[in-house]
Amino acid sequence: MEHVKTYYSDSFDSEYGPVVIEGPLSSNELSAYTFDDHLTAFRPAQKQFEAVKGIADFDEGRIIIARHDENIIGYVTYLHPDPLERWSEGKMENLIELGAIEVSPKFRGYRVGSRLLEVSMKDEYMEHYIIISTEYHWHWDLKGTGLNIWDYRKVMEKMMAAGGLTPAPTDDPEIISHPANCLMVKIGKHVSEESVEQFDTLRFLTRHQYRQARR
């Protein structure tokens, strides 16, 4: 499968000045910018910046950023699922995961997350993918936002809806380990029925494996 990437951008005004949303960007293009020190949800900022640049070099990898001047203040990543996750078991070239989305606290309240998703979906080629996001409550910044777990999930669902992702059932043990966790999915309009069926098997892999074992 050829992973075609087409650049798009948008911008909006904030109290700190204009913010540009753009991508997908290559690692070389990302290296021209700085990475905000407060983007630490997953690891220290500079280590996360190196990880983001690494994803940009994958054939399927996509990095969309939000920047204030030359400083990256938000980003979203897309790549194939981790080999240790069930979602990689089908080795589906057209299955990609929204692996991370993060916005610097200073710029929250401007719909930056939603804008990142909107720009990422402007690329028509995204309609060739099944896009998933695994949402685990232990990754959510409840302290920083002051939201309780259920209000945070509502905000998260609204943001994901800006990219066309909606909740989907699954029997994945980590997701069903807590009722606030969820699987978010968008199936592109150019995805074959065969791929949808293969993905449905992955969504309910535990059930499928149980049935296979009983035969």
Distance CA 215, CA 198 (A): 20
Say what angle helices 193-203 and 205-214 make with each other, to 10 degrees: 80
Q: How many CB atoms neighbour CB 43 within 10 A? A: 12
The mean predicted confidence, pLDDT, of the chain is 94
Q: Which residues contact 37 (CB under 8 A, 6 or more apart)?
A: 45
Hey, what domains does the chain have and what are their CATH numbers?
8-214 (3.40.630.30)
The sign of the CA dihedral 64, 68, 69, 72 is negative
The sign of the CA dihedral 140, 144, 145, 146 is positive
- Tokens 């910018």 map to which residue? 33
What's the pTM? 0.93
pLDDT in the model for residue 58: 97
Residue 214: strand, helix, or coil: helix
Are 155 and 113 spatial neighbours (Cβ–Cβ below 8 Å)?
Answer: no
Least confident range from 19-23, 107-111, 117-121: namely: 107-111
Quick one: what percent of the chain has pLDDT higher than 90?
89
pLDDT in the model for residue 206: 76
Distance CA 110, CA 13 (A): 9
Residue 179: strand, helix, or coil: coil
What is the per-residue pLDDT across 119-160, written as a single tens digit (0 to 9) for each? Answer: 999 999 999 999 999 999 988 889 888 999 999 999 999 999
DSSP string, 6-67: --EEEEEEETTEEEEEEE---HHHHTTSEE-TT--SSS-HHHHHHHHHHHHTSSS-EEEEEE
Does 213 score more than 90 pLDDT? no
Residues 84-96 have a mean pLDDT of 94
Does 83 score more than 90 pLDDT? yes
- Tokens 């979602």 map to which residue? 87
pLDDT in the model for residue 187: 98
Residues 37-45 have a mean pLDDT of 94
pLDDT in the model for residue 205: 86
213/207: higher pLDDT? 207
What is the per-residue pLDDT across 172-211, written as a single tens digit (0 to 9) for each? Answer: 999 999 999 999 999 999 999 999 999 999 999 877 665 5
Distance CA 75, CA 25 (A): 11
Distance CA 120, CA 98 (A): 11
Q: Could you tell me whether strands 166-168 and 34-35 are parallel, antiparallel, or unpaired per DSSP bridges?
A: unpaired
Tokens of 140: 């959510």
pLDDT in the model for residue 207: 72
pLDDT band per the 50, 70, 90 thresholds, residue 212: low
